Amino acid sequence: MIHHIKQPAGIASGNLEDWGPVKEPVGDLIAKLRGKAGTREGEPDYGIWECSPGRWRRQIKEAEFTHILAGRCTFIADDGQRIEIAAGDTLYFPAMSMGIWDIQETVRKVYILLR
């Protein structure tokens, strides 16, 4: 079956599910997550993810392909690589790519987790 997320950049934040605060914040500003998952049995996890400003440790251990729809942030990988990310960017995180997200402006992305 073909999966279709219609106009993910245009969905109002209030129409996304509240996923609560990040699990491993770094600092006093606690980022909050919203999203909409489209996971189906036997298929990769995918969906829309939105994060408010704050710093936190990345939790996802699977490989991830993602396209940034809105916002601005920095990812500082544990190996020292620093990536400045903005709306329009596309990224691939290999499995076990761990580090710190520093969200400066609310970020929204579409993603797929690869197992």
Residue span of the structural domain in which 53 resides? 15-114
107 belongs to a structural domain? yes
Count of the separate structural domains present in the chain: 1
Taking only Cα atoms into account, the Rg of the chain, rounded to an integer number of angstroms, comes to 14
pLDDT band of residue 3 (cuts 50, 70, 90) is confident
pLDDT exceeding 70 applies to what percent of the chain?
100
Q: What is the pLDDT of residues 59-100, one digit of tens each?
A: 889 999 999 999 999 999 999 999 999 999 999 999 999 999
Give 46's Cβ-side CA count (13 Å radius).
17
Residues paired with residue 64 on neighbouring β-strands, in sequence order: 93, 113
pLDDT score for 17: 97
Over 80: is that where the pLDDT of 40 sits?
A: no
3 belongs to a structural domain? no
Q: What is the CATH number for 66? A: 2.60.120.10
pLDDT band of residue 1 (cuts 50, 70, 90) is confident
**pTM for this predicted structure:** 0.93
81 belongs to a structural domain? yes
10 belongs to a structural domain? no
Closest-CA residue to 34 (of 56, 51, 54): 51
Determine the average pLDDT of the residues in 36-55: 91
9 belongs to a structural domain? no
21 belongs to a structural domain? yes
98 belongs to a structural domain? yes
